Structure 1
């Protein structure tokens, strides 16, 4: 199977440009083309401006600025012949069949045979797109429906036609999986495919029922959020995020395309308030406001919500609904509540889950595809069928009967069963024939959750667990709240290290939480300080230093595999590992200064070592401390694993895995490769400038303070950090050892943790999630 070495995207709008950026993130050169602007002197201006916007986008479209160099801007009049060099061509132009088909004929005239051509459409059937085109084009054509923003949304829906070459589908699917990090869901050639068809049904129903039942937007979003594992934006917050102006277009296309007897048609309602909001520019976050807005009149910042009855704004009020709070333990109870919130929940979610069952096999062959689509396309914690299992199919059927709603045949099939079960250590799903089938993972996918189905941890305490991955590799998993680091984790790390040394080859540090680790447990630290147990805090700092040093100099390789945030102590674990295999969406940094302390588990030491040994940095004792001071004092966090390499939180030799599901397998393979003839690293002494260097760094911090960027306590923290990074109060004739830097770290940390200003920052982080700027 030939690889995709070069790609093209035609259409430099939001989606097309985002797709091009993400292909570049995969390290693949991509041609971005659009029309020639009328009367323009720069014929490729549209595509070039799209790349400029991508470089400024928030959230960032590129994982590294270096990726932008792989995007070549052009236009479809002058640069179409260059498509002959491409292995995959993605069309992302306006949703008009005539425009797309005219473009396809031009593409077909210049592309090489076998080049995959795909459309990003979600509203036009594949059969209509390829009608009248050549046999060769139909053989190489498919639909690849990305979700916005393409870098961050893991779902990719793929649709192929009866004439599409399976090898073409396999080649694009493999590239999307391994290189783009997507979970590929195979859909049928039906309107809206899976996620948008079901998601739009849910949104329209949720909006319409909120108006009908007289709920506020806050109440509706409270019900349509966390109780069902839906993001806290709920439905009105989600519409503000994506834009209200898109709603009529998506609704209209599905209304026209779906049969009159499709349950979707019952959700179509004309809501005058929404029509008025769109007409007046109240289309959500990209407009003047939406269902929610931030009122800045008079120089203030007041969060407001729209009143659905009057259409006027009022101060936003947090919904406090007891039945919603109770649903955290039993979501089924919410569906049975007779309150307005309960009636709203059952009216929306019972119908939505029934529609999901109705879509098998109309839109997808099995429940796994539909659950994957909603979890990854709409960020639901549980897919519809996983939700049904949590509620219980009999309870859902009873709710539908109570509303006089039809019960899909597939849902009836599960009356005495569940849609998922574990049998012989395998997770299985219920088929339409009533037979359970194993969920088969793609080759190269290894999930800790699957291992847990048949295994017990070899070591465990309340904060961590150790699992056997086979082949002599153990996996250390954080299990504490938010994967925060505490004494339990430090203690078990020591036990795990001894176990690997005695009986195994390597250790992988990994978990399947949303974040690798957000750092040390600040709540425990604050509690200890409030009762003046500073000796206990210092013991934990020393224990962490010892444990991390033991990892670094162990007789076996240690590979860390982060995903999400790896902050503070979580970052320091990566710095002390022999290698890192990071998920592409890893956000790494030493953020301790933001909460009024400094890295105390060897982070300063390791960053100094990495920058001092950088051949690109000027020689001498000052450049490395200056670089580290700049990053650590400002609590810099990388926006990707690729950017983490630029900051040296990761080494150039560290690996990056694009697909989250492949991370553990890749980390295990790296650990086994290192285990062959493994030799521990040797300590590196540091050449540091001493007091004169400290003064220079303090002066830099003072300049920021004078400009209003740094606060008064920032100067105190910066001074303590500067003393560590420059080697302490003594002038240095001899190099500074790792042990000496660790001692300085520990002393600096303890000095700061005793200050009221630092304790106030920690308390602020625990209460609000943000450090106090004191």
Structure 2
């Protein structure tokens, strides 16, 4: 298989630029080309402008400043010769066949033999794209359909043609999987491929039915949200996000390409309200609003469109209680004799039937369609998983009762389910009517799969310890939001003793959306409200002791985070021998946001890391200053790469681009540390003492006078400064880690009694937002 060591992206629009950024995030040089603008003195202006926008994008397109330096902007008139250096050329220009084919002819003349060319098209069939082009081009050509934004959306639909070389497809598949972090789903050369064909049908059904039933859009978004396992944006929030003006174009494109018998045509009719909104500039979040808007003339009031009158009105909360009453289960909601229930059925019933209709057409495998919707539209469960949830026979019976067509795939599954677990293995029903083992790509290991055929070594209500083979144990958080509580601390202590006895190494990992949101604030607030100060101090002490035991255990410990690793979740990583982090890991010590200081060794570990860095000026103050400026403003790294810059991760820690490969990579790292393992030596810290505290106090006071810090910020930052500078220590007297931990503990306990801190904790629990008091 040929390596992909350099990439070109042609088309510097939103998608092309985003693809280029993700290639750069993988550490691969990428050439970003676009046309020469008319009347421009800078012939690279379009690509250079796109690069500048990428650097400022929010959410960030680049994982680090270094990644941005790997993108070289240019133009297709002066720099096509550089394609000869590229192994993969991605075309991401406007969705017009004539423009694409004209570009392909130029690419063919410039590229090197065997380089792969792909299109990011979402609407034009591959057979049309290669029409009239040389066979040499067709053999190296495929479609790679990314989803926006390319950094964060994990789905990549890969489409090959009859002439495409298997080696070309495998090179792209491997690179997209291992280097870009994508889950690659192979789709057939059909209009819309998988995710957009089903997703557009779902959105169209949801909009048409809501308009015709005259429902409130807040209720609609709630109905298709949590009950169906769909993101809280729902339908109308999602359309605002992607842009209302795309809807007519995508619908028209699909309608022109799909055969006459496709069920999509029955739903493809104009929605005058949508046309009206677009005409008035309401194209979604990129415009002045969409189905929802913020009325600044009315004091930034959130408003929503009334689907009956077409006028904006004040937004209201969804009738969640009525929806919940109708939907004790998903089937109960679909069966409920109410407007909510009828709407739910008319949207989801149609969508599930259409998913079954696509089996054998858009894709031959149930899992391909499920994965496409889970990752392309962020559904919690794929459509066939939802069919299993409501029951195949129930769905067939309901479709027949409504007089709707029943797809052959549903007849095939009658009396059964599409998914099952047999002898500890996940199996999926095939088009041949038989069940087949679900085979993960080589190197993909999921804890949820391993748990099917084994029992936990240890377990309580908040955590579990699993044997994952080869002498490696895995410690898993299972609490809500994976927040750290006394049960996790208790089981972690027991697990350390068990691993010492029966295993070679320990990996700390889970498959939640976030590694850990930090300590359980609800328990802390409850204890504070009943003045259980002794219990709170015991919890802090237990955490410090448990994390120290983890750090000095006689076996290697590897943390394997993904998503948020905040507060206590960050501190556990700081005490691991090594970390293998998913690229999308967001790490930070955020305790100041709730009026506290890190209390489980976070200050001590960060001081140790920055003090041992060789490129800082001499003396204790530079390291103290670095930690203070990071922790005092609750800095959260926006990627694993940025976490390395902030020393939440070490330069030697590993990064895994594909989330599904994280556990296998972490296990391999743990095993690599076993031979000759020796626990780390305890740190000895030289801290500046009161003189350093004075310097930090001056900085805090300056921020307070400028209005950049609140009164309680000053209190919390002052306590943090005391910890980081060593309290009353003399600069000539080094401190051991127990002394620094005592400073953390005492300042934590002082702050947790403060009314300002208790107000911050309560506000965070109620609103999810920090209180600026």
Could you say what secondary structure the match of 2:69 adopts? helix
Query: How far does residue 684 in structure 1 lie from its aligned partner after superposition?
Result: 1.7
Partner of 1:307: 306
Could you say what secondary structure the match of 1:60 adopts? coil
**Distance (Å, rounded) in 1 between the aligned partners of 2:274 and 2:155:** 29
For the 8 Å contact 1:465–1:478, the answer to whether it is kept is: yes
Could you say what secondary structure the match of 2:664 adopts? helix
Query: How far does residue 366 in structure 1 lie from its aligned partner after superposition?
Result: 1.1
Query: How far does residue 745 in structure 1 lie from its aligned partner after superposition?
Result: 0.1
1:720 aligns with 2:719: yes
Query: How far does residue 402 in structure 1 lie from its aligned partner after superposition?
Result: 2.5
User: RMSD across aligned C-alpha pairs, in angstroms?
Assistant: 0.9
For the 8 Å contact 1:24–1:30, the answer to whether it is kept is: yes
Partner of 2:264: 264
Could you say what secondary structure the match of 1:449 adopts? helix
For the 8 Å contact 2:689–2:726, the answer to whether it is kept is: yes
**Distance (Å, rounded) in 1 between the aligned partners of 2:683 and 2:345:** 63
For the 8 Å contact 1:476–1:509, the answer to whether it is kept is: yes
**Distance (Å, rounded) in 1 between the aligned partners of 2:516 and 2:440:** 26
1:634 aligns with 2:637: no
**Distance (Å, rounded) in 2 between the aligned partners of 1:237 and 1:744:** 47
**Distance (Å, rounded) in 1 between the aligned partners of 2:334 and 2:308:** 25
**Distance (Å, rounded) in 2 between the aligned partners of 1:21 and 1:321:** 40
Partner of 1:751: 750
1:279 aligns with 2:282: no
Could you say what secondary structure the match of 1:582 adopts? strand
For the 8 Å contact 1:30–1:71, the answer to whether it is kept is: yes
**Distance (Å, rounded) in 1 between the aligned partners of 2:223 and 2:485:** 35
For the 8 Å contact 1:126–1:142, the answer to whether it is kept is: yes
Partner of 1:511: 510
Partner of 1:540: 539
Distance 1:721 1:500, change over 3 A: same
Partner of 1:564: 563
The 5-angstrom pairing of residues 57-136 of structure 1 reads: 57-136=57-136
Query: How far does residue 732 in structure 1 lie from its aligned partner after superposition?
Result: 3.1
Distance 1:381 1:754, change over 3 A: same
**Distance (Å, rounded) in 2 between the aligned partners of 1:324 and 1:118:** 45
For the 8 Å contact 1:375–1:382, the answer to whether it is kept is: yes
Partner of 2:524: 525
For the 8 Å contact 1:346–1:399, the answer to whether it is kept is: no
Could you say what secondary structure the match of 1:415 adopts? coil
Query: How far does residue 731 in structure 1 lie from its aligned partner after superposition?
Result: 2.5
Distance 1:762 1:321, change over 3 A: closer
Partner of 2:11: 11
Partner of 1:150: 150
For the 8 Å contact 2:18–2:54, the answer to whether it is kept is: yes
Could you say what secondary structure the match of 2:468 adopts? strand
Partner of 1:139: 139
The 5-angstrom pairing of residues 192-591 of structure 1 reads: 192-297=192-297, 300-326=299-325, 329-591=328-590
**Distance (Å, rounded) in 2 between the aligned partners of 1:31 and 1:406:** 49
Structure 2, gaps ≥5 residues long: none
Distance 1:385 1:323, change over 3 A: farther
Partner of 1:711: 710
Query: How far does residue 39 in structure 1 lie from its aligned partner after superposition?
Result: 1.8
Q: TM-score, normalised by structure 2?
A: 0.99
Query: How far does residue 296 in structure 1 lie from its aligned partner after superposition?
Result: 1.6
Partner of 1:182: 182
**Distance (Å, rounded) in 1 between the aligned partners of 2:702 and 2:116:** 56
For the 8 Å contact 2:326–2:333, the answer to whether it is kept is: yes
Query: How far does residue 415 in structure 1 lie from its aligned partner after superposition?
Result: 2.1
Structure 1, gaps ≥5 residues long: none
Distance 1:398 1:215, change over 3 A: same
Q: TM-score, normalised by structure 1?
A: 0.99
For the 8 Å contact 1:323–1:342, the answer to whether it is kept is: no
**Distance (Å, rounded) in 2 between the aligned partners of 1:402 and 1:348:** 16
**Distance (Å, rounded) in 1 between the aligned partners of 2:532 and 2:741:** 21
Aligned residues: 773
For the 8 Å contact 1:323–1:334, the answer to whether it is kept is: no
**Distance (Å, rounded) in 1 between the aligned partners of 2:193 and 2:618:** 59
**Distance (Å, rounded) in 1 between the aligned partners of 2:155 and 2:326:** 28
Query: How far does residue 271 in structure 1 lie from its aligned partner after superposition?
Result: 1.4
Query: How far does residue 324 in structure 1 lie from its aligned partner after superposition?
Result: 2.5
Could you say what secondary structure the match of 2:74 adopts? strand
For the 8 Å contact 1:323–1:337, the answer to whether it is kept is: no
Report the more deviating stretch, 718-727 or 258-267.
Answer: 258-267
Residue-by-residue CA offset, 1:307-344 (whole Å, 9 max, x unaligned): 11112111111111445314665110000001001010
**Distance (Å, rounded) in 2 between the aligned partners of 1:2 and 1:407:** 45
Distance 1:233 1:390, change over 3 A: same
Query: How far does residue 273 in structure 1 lie from its aligned partner after superposition?
Result: 1.3
1:607 aligns with 2:606: yes
Residue-by-residue CA offset, 1:675-704 (whole Å, 9 max, x unaligned): 111011101211111011111111111111
Could you say what secondary structure the match of 1:294 adopts? strand
